[in-house]
Amino acid sequence: MFYRETGQYKTTYAADRAIFPIRQDRIGIAILLVVAFVVIPLFANEYWLRSVLTPVLVFSLAAIGLNILTGYTGQLSLGTAAFMAVGAFAAYNLEVRVPEVPFLVSFVVAGLAAAGVGILFGLPSLRIKGFYLAVATLAAQFFIEWLFTHVGWFTNYSTSGVITAPPMTLLGYSFESAESRYLLTLCIVAGMAIMAKNMVRSELGRAWMAVRDMDVAAEAIGINLMATKLTAFAVSSFYCGVAGALWAYVYLGTVEPQAFDVLRSFEILFMVIIGGLGSILGSFLGAAFIVLLPIFIANASGLFGSALSAETIAHLEFVIFGGLIILFLVVEPLGLARLWQIVKEKLRLWPFPY
């Protein structure tokens, strides 16, 4: 009844290809932005801002990165965390060696460094596909983790093998409080999400999806496969690199290379699959789902009180988590984004059956 696009005529192609062509969507997104930028920082407590919402945002950014590569271009990657690590260590090394550089610039450099490494490890994609490519990216995962653990230069010869992110200051303002860090992350992630959405709905995104759907036909219609695949690796890794730098600077503070191990790569892959392959919105939903579900399970099992030991609860969490993922994949293999789309389609007609 309320979600109806009747009467909203688009008279130009520019209006028709707006990001949110339907008025109700625009209102919805405006409310969401107000909540994210104003309501949450005002009312959320320290724990939620620092340990839940900020990680959700950082993971969303990494998931967008992986979604560009796997969801849009069809190149399966298990090296996401490694590209995040490249970003984190690149930003750290730049600031340690050139302290004058503002941290925002070092975030961009982090993205560019990850993009370069992404292109390098994307080269096998020109010859191999599917599971074989996944194994090749897995090699990137282990190699980069090994490199940062064993080559002292990257950690500035720190004896413990960990790096500590320098404080973030911009024009004299220091990003110390949970609110400021959350808002900083939100700005970066929201901006980059819009850019990703723009890319996937223009020439570049069509080239990526064409390569995903039918590479022979894509090439026959004039798409340079090599350039398109490597661009996807570069853009995807750029996103992962910035996410890695954020993870180190905004969330962890002190980072060891093992924070970016293969389990992290899988975690982000789960987010993309559960959120929805080939959907920017799905990247956010998937990240929120994976971060919030364990918290939800822990709270729910807390209701049973002392009947269960802490250890049992921890194990139960894994069991329920795994079970839910399997259930979810069976019921809706196209992810949360697809569920949302179905809800919207139903809403267009509600309360009428058709």
Sorted by sequence, the CB contacts under 8 Å of residue 68 that are 6+ apart come out as 196, 199, 200, 208, 232, 235, 236, 239
Provide the β-strand partners of residue 255.
163
**Least distance from other proteins to the Cβ atom of residue 195, Å:** 4
The span of 131-139, 173-181, 228-236, 340-348 binding other proteins (CB under 8 A) equals: 228-236
User: Which one, of 77, 67, 23, lies nearest residue 285 by Cα?
Assistant: 67
- Of 7 and 222, CB closest to other proteins: 222
Triad 19, 106, 242: Cα angle to 5°: 40
**Least distance from other proteins to the Cβ atom of residue 205, Å:** 8
Q: How many CB atoms lie within 10 A of CB 116?
A: 15
**Least distance from other proteins to the Cβ atom of residue 218, Å:** 7
| Helix (DSSP H) and strand (DSSP E) numbers for the chain | 16, 4
Dist CA 278 CA 212 (whole Å): 10
**Least distance from other proteins to the Cβ atom of residue 48, Å:** 31
Binding-site size, other proteins (CB under 8 A):
33
Restricting to residues 317-346, which ones interact with other proteins according to CB under 8 A?
none
Sorted by sequence, the CB contacts under 8 Å of residue 273 that are 6+ apart come out as 286, 329, 335
**Least distance from other proteins to the Cβ atom of residue 338, Å:** 12
- Of 173 and 354, CB closest to other proteins: 354
Tell me, residue by residue from 273 to 302, as one string, x for binding to other proteins by CB under 8 A and - for no binding: -----x------------------------
The helix (H) or strand (E) run that includes residue 201 is none
User: Which one, of 170, 354, 171, 141, lies nearest residue 267 by Cα?
Assistant: 141
Dist CA 276 CA 289 (whole Å): 12
Tell me, residue by residue from 86 to 125, as one string, x for binding to other proteins by CB under 8 A and - for no binding: ----------------------------------------
Residues in the chain: 354
Dist CA 238 CA 258 (whole Å): 20
Dist CA 162 CA 141 (whole Å): 18
In angstroms, how far is the first alpha carbon of the chain from the final one?
Answer: 12
**Least distance from other proteins to the Cβ atom of residue 113, Å:** 16
**Least distance from other proteins to the Cβ atom of residue 202, Å:** 5
- Of 215 and 261, CB closest to other proteins: 215
Restricting to residues 6-45, which ones interact with other proteins according to CB under 8 A?
12-14, 16-17
- Of 221 and 292, CB closest to other proteins: 221
Restricting to residues 184-223, which ones interact with other proteins according to CB under 8 A?
195-196, 198-199, 202-204, 206-207, 209-210, 212-214, 216-223
Q: Which residues bind other proteins (CB under 8 A)?
A: 12-14, 16-17, 195-196, 198-199, 202-204, 206-207, 209-210, 212-214, 216-225, 231, 234-235, 278
